[in-house]
A and B are shown apart, each in its own frame.
Chain A
Amino acid sequence: MRFRRPEPRPEAVADPTRGFELRGVSHRYGDRPVLADVDLHLTEARIGVVGANGSGKSTLARLLNGLVVPTAGQVLVDGLDTRTAVREVRRRVGFVFQDPDAQIVHPTVAEDAAYGLENQGVPAAERAERVAEVLARYGLAGHADHPAHLLSGGQKQLLAIAGVLVMRPARVVFDEPTTLLDLVNARRVARVIDGLEQQVVVVTHQLDLLDGFDRVLVVDGGRVVEDAAPRPAIAAYRALMERR
């Protein structure tokens, strides 16, 4: 029996104007459905996602950079399918998690900030330059050689953000970035998000974080039940929560 070598997959070409496209997306963990028939096209600069715990919003966020591949449907980032071009998708889409302790993987601040660049094969000199620049931008330059576990909660979240932004992604997804922070640090992180040039998707319970956003999605029971500007979307979300 002779095997034929599979045809090489044609190189996917990215179109940066297309943003995120979710086409008929459903997802389930085992027997438990978490998202059902989601169709979205996200091109706005600032997009918020709100919803109750367990509504499916974190899964929605994870679909956007291929951390989760949908059980049905298709997720495209700039035209690249997260199922077939996941590495290229992850280079384009940074992801910041709720708990920075789970995201910081190296013992010291500068080493951790450099991790993503090492993975991309960025030369040492350029790596050093970019790490120094990003640490300075987020007020961590004086902590470059400090153990990461000795940073405050706010500084850890800034390091987690720095470790993503140093990779210069075109889009950044934040999954509840301020949930574990006090008011001062939550505001610092909000200012950082506000100042980003990249397209940003923020999953959050902190509704004032969405002031000035272009679009807010309300997720409930695995479906997008409201998709509007922040004011009407948040009003709909409050009404939804009050009915429970």
Chain B
Amino acid sequence: MTLALYVPRRSPVHRVPAGGKLLALAALAVLLFAVPTVPVAGGALVGVLTVGLLAARVPVATLARQARTVRWWLAGLFVFHALFTDVPTAALTVLRLLALVLAAAVVTATTRVTEMVAVIERLCAPLRVLGVRPARIGLVVSMALRFIPVLAERAERIREAQAARGGSARGIRGIRTTVTPLLVQLLQMAHTVSEALDARGADDVPPARGHRSPAGA
């Protein structure tokens, strides 16, 4: 399971600040829904592919993987609109969503997680007046991205261990026999993670933090 989709390259797209890329993504979404025509949606898709493949040099496989994850949704939407509205509307809907999915993939592939997290921290800065520490919110987001694959791996190990002893993870019993040991493992792990955060100075967080990229980029 791969959540971190960042593709390290030296490109102009990589150099654009994360906030700028997210704003561009939002602007594209507004444009696509404000001007609902096939030429605009098709042009946007061509533009996204040009930026992603040529300017940012994101591998075709990376974008194809993202498109594959939504292919059945897109196919279903196309069929639905083709049956109940008309084919141009079906094409517009599919082109629009595909352009947005690929644009988001380009943003993800050209932006480090820590840059994204830094944007989230900046957006959360006003919450300081309520006593919220934006750095903590950023850490939570970053840790969620880090531990989702670990969680999936642990669940898979539990399923394998049960299968090795002739068990099955199907049905209600399967859920119980997978979820219970997974929860126990997660609680144990959460305790160790909290110790690890303490050991690495989580309580030492300085009052104002700048950009968190280790490369200083």
Contact = CB atoms under 8 A, between A and B. Distances in A.
Interface of A: 62, 65, 67, 87, 90-91, 94-95, 97, 99, 101-108, 110-121, 124-125, 127-128, 131, 144-150, 163-164, 167
B189 to A, nearest CB: 5
A41 B203 CA distance: 28
Contacts of B150: 101, 149
Q: Is the interface of A mostly helix, strand, loop or mixed?
A: helix
A113 B213 CA distance: 11
B206 A121 contact: yes
Among B1, B150, B200, B205, residue most surrounded by chain A Cβ atoms (within 10 Å): B200
B192 A102 contact: yes
A91 B203 CA distance: 11
Interface stretch (B36-44, B70-78, B138-146): B138-146
Interface of B: 1-4, 6, 8, 112-114, 139, 142-143, 145-146, 149-150, 153, 189, 192-193, 195-206, 209-216
Nearest to B196: A103
Contacts of B4: 107-108, 146-147
Given A106-B113, A125-B216, A90 B199 contact: yes
A110 B215 contact: yes
A119 B142 contact: no
Contact of A111 (B199, B204, B214): B214
B71 to A, nearest CB: 24
Contact of A67 (B143, B195, B206, B214): B195
A107 B196 contact: no
A108 B114 CA distance: 9
Contact of B205 (A67, A111, A119, A149): A119
A65 to B, nearest CB: 6
